[in-house]
Every structure is written in structure tokens, then in C-alpha cells.
Amino acid sequence: MEYDPVLSKSVILGLTVIIVILSLLGLTSNKPDIHTELSNCEKLQDVGSQKWCYSNVAERIVTTDPRQALQVCESKMTKNSSRNWCYSNIASKVSETNLDGAFEICRGKITASNDRDMCFTFIAHRIIIVRRSLDESIQACAYIEDEDKKNSCEYYSYSYYAKKLAQTNISGALEVCGSIKSTINEEICIDLVINAIAEKDPDTALDICNQTNPNPVDNIWCHVNVAEVVARKDLDEALKLCDEIENIKYKAECYGWARKSSSAS
């Protein structure tokens, strides 16, 4: 049979179309099927590595088949704590698209209160990081039974959101920090906001130090923290900020922290 360039091009085009269709159907994926992946997990000798492996498989399939993902947790995790940890990971992933469904996983699959609190914490963290939804993140924290864990969850959500908001809305960021119940955590949140601002606008960061730290020593340490942040990009500029501190002891402290920050960056 003689070579026919027109026919050959037609065959190649036809094969290309078939490959594209199969690819869209997921039939040409290089990823192994779930049974192969689970089998590979079983071959791992270390229990911890095996747990992570099963959880990764479950997270990978949860967007397409949530029930099967939960079955992986249920059938492959032998300890209740590991199973609940797996459920929590699944719930946090589901929360990206279905918050109520994620809450239902925590409530319906986990009976131990400590682990259920963990599940809601995972959701709260995922929501604030991925969706940047403060209200929904705080809603997840509200379901946590242990008060200390609930406060910690709320602090993380408020402070993370405030730190990001500080880039565009400083007063709004400080207001978010003011929503934190714990005075200590509120102060830490404000410090995070100041540090975030210091990366781009040290002068404004120092102004906020003066506004939020009436105590002289706290005010000085706030200045030191700003200098430490600035030193990551410009040591000379940071040392100039340290020079503005009148107290010799704290000025020396500022020099030390600035140089340490600069060498570590």
C-alpha cells in the first residue's frame, strides 16, 4: 500500500480527537486509580506515613465523590482518632464549596467532642485562608464546645483576616482585632497588623505603635518589631529606626534584633 499523506493526516487528526475526548473523560490520566493508590498506601511500613497517604487519597477524590472519600477514612483508618482526623480533613476540603455539608460531616461522623472540635477548627482555618470569609470562619468556630479552643479558633480567624486586610484598610484591620475577646490576643493581632504594614510603610506602622501602645516600654518594643521587619529588606533603614529610640538599652536591643533579622532573611 502506497503512502498517502492526505489519509495519514486524516488518521492522525482522528486519533488526536479520540485522545482529547478520552482525556476529558479522565480515561487517559497518568494518575493511578483509587484501588492502586490505596494498595500503595498499604505497602507503607510506617503507620504515620500510611495515615497521611490514606488521607491524601481521600482528599483527592472528595470533590468528585465525597461518599467514597469518607469510606476511605472509615475503612482504612483503624484508630478512632486517626479516622476522625481523616474526617476532619475531608470536611475542611468540602467547606470550600459546601459549608453546611462540611458541618454535617463533623456532626454526623464524629462523636468524640475533642475530635469534633478539631473538625470545626479545620473548617474555620480552611475558610479563612481559602475563601477569606470571616463570618463563615467565625461561624465554624462557634460550634466548638471547648471555650479555650473556641477562643483560639476565633483569634486565628480574626488575626489572619486582619493581617490581610491591613494592606488595603488599616482602620478596618484594627477594628477586626478589636473583635477578639481576649485582651492579650487582641494585642497580638494588632502587632501582626503593624508588622504587615511595616513591610511597605514603616512610618505608618510607627504611628500605629504610638496610637495603640500608651505604655512607654510596650511602645519601644513595638518600634523594635517594626525595625526588625524593615531589616529583612533594608538593614540600614532599620538601624536608622533604631537610632530614634532614646533609651540606650533598648536601642542596643533594637540593633541586635535588626541585624539578626537581616542575616536570617
Contact 161, 190 (CB under 8 A): no
pLDDT at 1 over 50: no
For the purposes of burial, counting CB atoms within 10 Å of the CB of 83, is it exposed (0-12), middle (13-18) or buried (19 or more)? buried
Q: Where are the domains of the chain?
A: 37-175, 197-265
What stretches of the chain show up as alpha helix (H) in DSSP? Answer: 5-24, 34-42, 47-61, 66-76, 80-94, 99-109, 113-126, 134-142, 147-165, 170-177, 183-198, 202-212, 216-231, 235-243, 248-264
Confidence of residue 31 (pLDDT cuts 50, 70, 90): low
Angle CA 123–88–107, to nearest 5? 85
Q: Quick: pLDDT tens for 46-76.
A: 888 988 998 889 988 988 888 999 999 999 9
Q: Quick: pLDDT tens for 190-222.
A: 999 999 999 999 999 999 999 998 899 999 999
pTM beyond 0.85, yes or no: no
